[in-house]
Structure 1
């Protein structure tokens, strides 16, 4: 996912440079060179579209696998999200191919694909967080409150990371729906460039938060063990016992 984020960023920088080059040549009256530069920009746009489709397969595939594991490796639970992901892939590929054929960018071609992406992520969020909540409900009366707090933290991480991604797509769709001014075009470009980064950052946030949580737990545990194993602590414990 880090590699995908870097590739998307590199493509967006290249597309921006080509756009400015096209504008400069147009002002200078060099129409032939400007069209040549524009064709290279279209190729990079198509590459970015297909890369986004592949990126979506990886990120949503990871989410589906996580849901599959949490549900005790029950393959039936993943059928609906998998079908939704396949539909998203087909729609995204069709939109990218039309972009390639027409040589222009019609953001309306991607609306269904992004709507299916939202549906896929909402379904996975509900299944995953719902399953963890159900497990927490069963053990809340047995386990220590600190353990149940861990369940709450996991649910919050899943919902927060999924919500960030869904909100970014919703903002993009709103901008596309209001495609009638220059401000709308700028907003579409900004949200479209941000979606791949958020797509990759959201799952990484979970990994970072889980890793930092483990580090804190390990530090606390090692601190307790060190204090228990020190001579001064042992003397204090023995004196209290006596």
Structure 2
């Protein structure tokens, strides 16, 4: 969301020209990248019927795309309008029209509310995707989900309260203390979202690494490379969004050194959707198969799922008689590899 900056910063040449150029320019670059990613995800989801939970992931990605892109576009609209009024203020040395527009324009208020609320909703869906992956790997018991659910719920509630306080300040044209409270809450939401996203991604990656120990030892270096790619992919997706939020907060706090009020909220609004979409796309492009080119090894990873047209006993026999080329797995390895494969297919 837009922020309030001192007159000499906001209405300088840097503040008037660089803020919309950098913020909106970066947003347009990420938007083009996001549209390409989303189009490819939709294409692969529609053409590859074997993808696990295809409809669920497609629904999540579509909702994320609509919410995050809408939030970014509305935020860009606010940024451009503020730049226009700011340029007029810099020329006339009078900021009254800008302040009147910011506090009295119904259009500006509605757009700002929608931008913030849509971003929070997109963040909720991204958190739900992370929580779903976490529950598949760690279990869906109350004990395993209690802390992550409470942390994610509190984070998004704080963000909504921050948006509402900012809106109340605009409507009432209240004192700086109210504005400061809303800004602090929204910044707290950014920090909590960055921490939650990165920690959950680490826990998911760590669980995949732990469950893959026996399959990796039994099936050789090719499986090791496969799961290294899976783990790195999960960590990257969490780090991208967290790094964007941290950069956004760091730049906002460094106003005095920059000399102008740069705001990366537009980039953050898009990254909340880009990060999970990118991991779905990389999986759709066949990361699993490219990491493990041997078809016999791929078949061993799916020994827990009965092939079409055969009974359960035939499936079990098929699993045991597969040529591993490096020996057979133990009974415990069956359980762990099967659980991990199902987890990978469901979560990634």
Q: What TM-score, normalized to structure 1?
A: 0.77
Where in structure 2 are the equivalents of 1:14-25 lying within 5 Å? Answer: 14-23=77-86
Q: 8 Å contact 1:165–1:198 — kept in the other structure?
A: yes
Distance 1:77 1:165 in 2: 24
Q: 8 Å contact 1:132–1:155 — kept in the other structure?
A: yes
Where in structure 2 are the equivalents of 1:13-52 lying within 5 Å? Answer: 13-23=76-86, 26=89, 35-36=100-101, 39=105, 40-52=107-119
Q: 8 Å contact 2:78–2:112 — kept in the other structure?
A: yes
Name which of 172, 185, 203 aligns with 2:248: 172
Residue 66 of structure 1 corresponds to which residue in structure 2? 133
Residue 279 of structure 2 corresponds to which residue in structure 1? 206
Give structure 1 stretches of 5+ with no counterpart.
223-242
Give structure 2 stretches of 5+ with no counterpart.
1-63, 174-178, 296-348
Which segment is superposed worse, 58-67 or 46-55?
A: 46-55
Distance 1:33 1:108 in 2: 24
Residue 116 of structure 1 corresponds to which residue in structure 2? 192
Q: What TM-score, normalized to structure 2?
A: 0.55
The reply on whether 1:197 has 2:281 as its aligned counterpart is no
Q: Shift in Å at residue 135 of structure 1?
A: 1.0
Distance 2:191 2:102 in 1: 33
Note the aligned Cα RMSD (angstroms): 2.8
Distance 2:95 2:249 in 1: 36
Is the alpha carbon distance of 1:158 and 1:100 closer, same or farther for their aligned partners in structure 2, counting shifts above 3 Å? Answer: same
Q: 8 Å contact 2:205–2:234 — kept in the other structure?
A: yes
Which segment is superposed worse, 92-101 or 45-54?
A: 45-54
Distance 1:34 1:174 in 2: 26
Is the alpha carbon distance of 1:55 and 1:214 closer, same or farther for their aligned partners in structure 2, counting shifts above 3 Å? Answer: same
Is the alpha carbon distance of 1:32 and 1:128 closer, same or farther for their aligned partners in structure 2, counting shifts above 3 Å? Answer: closer
Residue 145 of structure 1 corresponds to which residue in structure 2? 221
Q: Shift in Å at residue 32 of structure 1?
A: 6.3
Residue 238 of structure 1 corresponds to which residue in structure 2? none
Decide which structure has greater helix share. Answer: 1
Work out the number of aligned pairs and report it. Answer: 217
Q: 8 Å contact 1:176–1:184 — kept in the other structure?
A: no
Q: Shift in Å at residue 180 of structure 1?
A: 2.9
Residue 79 of structure 1 corresponds to which residue in structure 2? 146
Distance 2:142 2:237 in 1: 24
Return the structure number with greater relative CO, CA threshold 8 A, min gap 6.
Answer: 2
